[in-house]
Amino acid sequence: MRYTAAHWGIYEVAETPKGPRLQPFREDPDASPIGLHQLAPELMALRVKRPAIRRSWLEGGPGAAPELRGREPFVEVSWDEAARLVATDIDRVRKAHGNAAIFGGSYGWASAGRFHHAQSQIHRFLNCTGGYVAHRDSYSLGAARVLMPHIVAGMDTLMKDHTCWKVLAEHCELFVAFGGVPAKNAQIASGGVGRHQVRAGLRAMAGNGVEFVNVSPVSGNLETGGPVQWIRIRPNGDTAMLLALAYEVHRAGRHDLDFLQRCCVGWDKFEAYLTGATDGIAKTPDWAAPLCQVAPEVIRALATKMMAKRTMINIAWALQRADHGEQPFWMTVTLAAMLGQIGLPGGGFGLGYGAENTMGSPHARLSGPSLPQGRNGVSKFIPVARIADMLLNPGAPFRYNGGTYTYPDIRLVYWAGGNPFHHHQDLARLDMAWRKPETIVVHEQFWTPTAKRADIVLPITTALEREDISYATLEGMLVASRPVIPPVGEALDDYEAFRRIAAVLGCEEAFTEGRTGEAWQRHLYDVMRQSWSAHGVELPDFATFRDRGKIDLAAHDVDRVMLAEFRADPQAHPLPTPSGKIEIFSETIAGFDIPDCPGHAVWIEPREWHGSAGAARYPLHLISDQPERRLHSQLDPSPHSRAGKVDGREPLIMHPFDAAARGLCEGEPVEVYNDRGRCLAGLKISGEVIPGVVRLSTGGWYDFDHASGQERHGNPNALTADRPASGLSQGCSAHSCLVEVRRPEGPVCAPRAFDLPTFAPRL
């Protein structure tokens, strides 16, 4: 059997008289439909087929007419010429300004597959040229990645330690989910899903009588096949509710002092805050109710249940992608510590069950192969979501994780494997910042909004055109991903593109170490084979692996319980925190003296939410969650993604009360707006969101119309704020955003997101 693997799963390749066809992987009980359409003509039509240079850049050189990025024709050139232009410009910039003038942070998910991992490729390449400005952390977990190592352990460690579904089904009695456990999100896993397990995991729990509570402004994100209590919470109010639950546990004297003393530090300082001894405000349910809009008696009843049952508290990643996003995560850990069930089967906390397929997996923690990236000669970096700040404010200081740093002065931006004009907030601001660099190089498969805004676009193959080793830790399946179709147009893989540019720069040998792509895969496989053997997992040789197509690691599954060893003996198994224990109060963070992130979990009002002054003009809280029908912006032009649109625009979900108050009807085009931007969407009216909340998922290709100043396709990042979650993390805070919705005035423009750019002949 031949397979091709993607973040959304494994697909079988069937040969038909009409050519190859993708089918669901038959061993996957819940295969995702997202990937079935990867060969669709609608996608092929949008491929970048030849190297292309923006006309002014080609004619006027680096820095020519940057305001025309995204608005003028491209000129197609040969690969030789394109490689020479890229190499010459890297050389110009590094000689004139140093390598710290090159931004290679290049965030993004690119394709699954370990060798053709675009981030590893670009970082290895740029390191061979002398280095680049890198990024830290992710959009996914900006606040949590910085916070968690101070208080429990790094996110990568914790994600791999989640209690598995089987143990939850056997031991958990009450599962309280802040932000649900969205099965739509569990369609994917970074690196590639083996078998989808979240829906079955939840069903097995429900079958065993586990009680579910979903604390969320939306209802559709926790499907168990059984009853779910839905507690309608005001977005961004979760920390207040968590504090009130903690208050009730404390008031009842049911906080586990033995656990708090044996396994945690700083309980007394937090206790003084909880009771109001430090600030005069007791964090009672009556205090919390106006903030989170959950009735005091509902909070009290939930607290009573939590004290009586084996309770798992789960928090969705979205909650930390918000203003002061550290706080709900810290408070979840604090409340779970008070209940004293951390490290017991079925109890404690979960950080994002459902955010990806991975959490709750029983599979082995073995790491997969990875391309060595070499040494970066540049030490400057940015927290990933500060890209527009960096471009707009060279030399300005910023704070991050207790340190103070300065933004570099970027002349060249090099992107491979990401779509900043999908992922960043306040895209109009990014568009302004995007004028600053003299040169922008993008490796892309498709004419995405970012590719359209580049100076040099190099055409890259998709996973369907490549051989690769596919594997994600905890997914339990090692896959030989095989080519399904020949390369489209003149597309090359990132490795070959970088090799050609390295050859012009005189660093080809350093980049390739004399290996072809295939030789690298063989080499990486052999290194992995040796390392797994040391862990008792024997792999066949590379040729046999490729022949078999996949290797199932299910025989190495374990019944994992998060932090069980630590709980049993915190001295013998200390955490990697300064105290070796869970830090309910962190001396380190307190010592940073950051006003918006003190030494323990606190309630700090978000700058933009229902409770703020801006709500008078913009009364609707916008939730820009992850899209059900694609991975971010990937495959948005596919028939599966298009089928979810309303007249070619992204659906905006609104409560019937809010629609009636505005006289809006199902299916009509609406304008969503605030002071940052305006975008069109197609209205869907549904009680699945609470009044005062609208939901517009991410990933509709950004389609800004310069003539009307309007985004035409429904991309929520036309509206979100580019504001750091806190001075600790500088994380993305997309989920703190207010908008208003109205019927557009005058004729509405048709979306043009899927138009190709224009091309001009060479003069």
Ligand X SMILES: Nc1nc2c(c(=O)[nH]1)N[C@H]1C(S)=C(S)[C@@H](COP(=O)(O)OP(=O)(O)OC[C@H]3O[C@@H](n4cnc5c(=O)[nH]c(N)nc54)[C@H](O)[C@@H]3O)O[C@H]1N2
Q: Which residues in this chain contact ligand X in the complex, by CB under 6 A?
A: 108-111, 116, 118, 139-140, 178-180, 182, 184-185, 187-188, 215-218, 221, 233, 235-236, 238, 316-319, 321-322, 352, 355-356, 416-419, 422-423, 425, 443-446, 448, 460, 494, 623-628, 631-634, 698, 716-717, 720, 734-735
Q: Quick one: 32 or 140, whose CB is closer to Mo ion?
A: 140
Q: What backbone phi and psi angles, to 5 degrees, belong to 53?
A: -120, 135
Q: Which of 8, 11, 57, 109 is catalytic?
A: 109
Measured from the CB atom, is 358 or 710 closer to ligand X?
358
- The one of Mo ion, ligand X, none whose footprint includes residue 215, by CB under 5 to 8 A per kind, is ligand X
Q: Are 498 and 511 in contact (CB under 8 A)?
A: yes
Q: Which does 324 bind (CB under 5 to 8 A by kind): ligand X, Mo ion, none?
A: none
| Smallest separation, CB 732 to ligand X (Å) | 6
Q: Nearer Cβ to Mo ion, position 140 or 710?
A: 140
**Which tokens hold the place of 200?**
């079955």
Pairing of strands 52-54, 74-76: antiparallel
Q: Which does 389 bind (CB under 5 to 8 A by kind): Mo ion, ligand X, none?
A: none
Q: Do β-strands 456-459 and 439-444 pair in parallel, antiparallel, or remain unpaired?
A: parallel
Give the orientation angle of helix 238-251 with respect to helix 296-308, to 10 degrees: 60
358 vs 556: CA distance, rounded Å: 16
- Interface with Mo ion in residues 733-752 (CB under 5 A): none
Partner from Mo ion, ligand X, none binding residue 114, C-beta < 5-8 Å depending on class: none
Q: Which residues contact 747 (CB under 8 A, 6 or more apart)?
A: none
- In the complex, what is the shortest distance from the CB of residue 611 to ligand X, in angstroms, rounded to a whole number? 12
Of 236 and 332, which has the nearer Cβ to ligand X?
Answer: 236
CB hemisphere CA count around 760 (13 angstroms): 13
Q: How far apart are CA 751 and CA 149, in angstroms?
A: 44
Residue 473 binds which entry of ligand X, Mo ion, none, CB below 5-8 Å type-dependent = none
From the list 133-141, 144-152, 485-493, 710-718, the region that binds Mo ion by CB under 5 A is 133-141
Contact partner, 337, from ligand X, Mo ion, none, Cβ < 5-8 Å per class? none
Tokens of 743: 């019927």
Q: Give me the numbers of helices (H) and strands (E) for the chain, helices first please.
A: 26, 31
232 versus 363: smaller Cβ distance to ligand X:
232
Q: Is position 358 an interface residue for Mo ion (rule: CB under 5 A)?
A: no
Fill in the amino acid letter for 96: A
Under the criterion CB under 5 A, does residue 633 sit at the interface with Mo ion? no
Minimal distance in Å, beta carbon 123 to Mo ion? 19
Sign of the alpha-carbon torsion through 582, 587, 591, 596: positive
Question: What is the number of the residue whose Cβ is closest to Mo ion?
Answer: 140
Q: In this complex, which beta carbon is closest to ligand X, that of residue 316 or of residue 387?
A: 316
Q: How far is the CB of 731 from ligand X (least distance, A)?
A: 10
Q: What is the crossing angle of helices 285-292 and 238-251, to 10°?
A: 170
> Residue 164 corresponds to which tokens in the numbers above?
């598995």
Binding span for Mo ion by CB under 5 A among 139-147, 584-592, 706-714, 728-736: 139-147
Q: Which stretch binds Mo ion (CB under 5 A): 18-26, 132-140, 387-395, 520-528?
A: 132-140
423 binds, options ligand X, Mo ion, none, Cβ within 5 to 8 A by partner type: ligand X
Indicate which of Mo ion, ligand X, none lies near residue 326 (CB less than 5 to 8 Å, by partner kind): none
**DSSP per position, 118-158:** HHHHHHHHHHHTT--BEEES-STTHHHHHHHHHHT--HHHH
- Do 463 and 482 contact (CB within 8 A), yes or no? no
Asked if 325 contacts 733 with a C-beta cutoff of 8 angstroms, the reply is yes
- Minimum CB–partner distance for residue 425 and ligand X (Å): 6
Cα–Cα distances (Å) from 160 to 344, 364, 453, 579, in that order, read 16, 9, 38, 22
Judged by CB under 5 A, how many residues of this single chain contact Mo ion? Answer: 1
Under rule CB under 5 A, residue 140 binds Mo ion: yes
Is residue 107 flagged as an active site residue?
yes
CB within 8 A of 755, min separation 6: which ones?
A: none
Residue 533 half-sphere exposure toward CB, CA atoms < 13 A: 10
The answer to whether 419 contacts Mo ion (rule: CB under 5 A) is no
**CB closer to Mo ion out of 142 and 340:** 142
User: Do residues 252 and 622 lie in contact, with contact meaning Cβ atoms separated by under 8 Å?
Assistant: no
Interface region with Mo ion, contact rule CB under 5 A, candidates 138-146, 397-405, 486-494, 563-571:
138-146
Euclidean distance between CA atoms 477 and 499, whole angstroms: 30
Please state the closest distance from residue 638 (CB atom) to ligand X, in A: 12
Closest CB to ligand X among 346 and 731?
A: 731
Which range of residues in 47-55, 135-143, 475-483, 647-655 is near Mo ion by CB under 5 A?
135-143
Tokens found for residue 432:
């302004």
Least distance to ligand X, CB of residue 462, Å: 6
How far is CA 47 from each of CA 107, 338, 570, rounded to the nearest angstrom? Answer: 21, 54, 54
- Which helix (H) or strand (E) segment holds residue 275: the answer is helix 267-275
Cβ neighbours for 169, distance < 8 A, ≥ 6 positions apart: 201, 204, 205, 207, 208, 210
Beta bridge partners of 671: 680, 742
Region near Mo ion per CB under 5 A, out of 136-144, 225-233, 637-645, 673-681: 136-144
- The answer to whether 109 is a known catalytic residue is yes
CA separation for the pair 476, 465 (Å, rounded): 24
Cα–Cα distance between 467 and 469 in angstroms, integer? Answer: 7
Given 8, 11, 107, 165, the catalytic residue: 107
119 is a contact residue toward Mo ion (CB under 5 A): no
Nearer to ligand X, 460 or 472 (CB): 460
CA torsion angle 220 221 225 229 (round to 10): -80
Min dist. Cβ of residue 183 to Mo ion (A): 17
**Shortest distance (Å) from residue 142 CB to ligand X:** 9
> Residue 449 Cβ, how far from ligand X at the closest point, in Å?
9
Complex with Mo ion: residue 185 or 314, whichever CB lies closer? 185
Q: With CB cut-offs between 5 and 8 Å by kind, which of ligand X, Mo ion, none does residue 624 bind?
A: ligand X
Chain residues that interact with Mo ion, rule: CB under 5 A: 140
Residues acting as catalytic residues: 107, 109
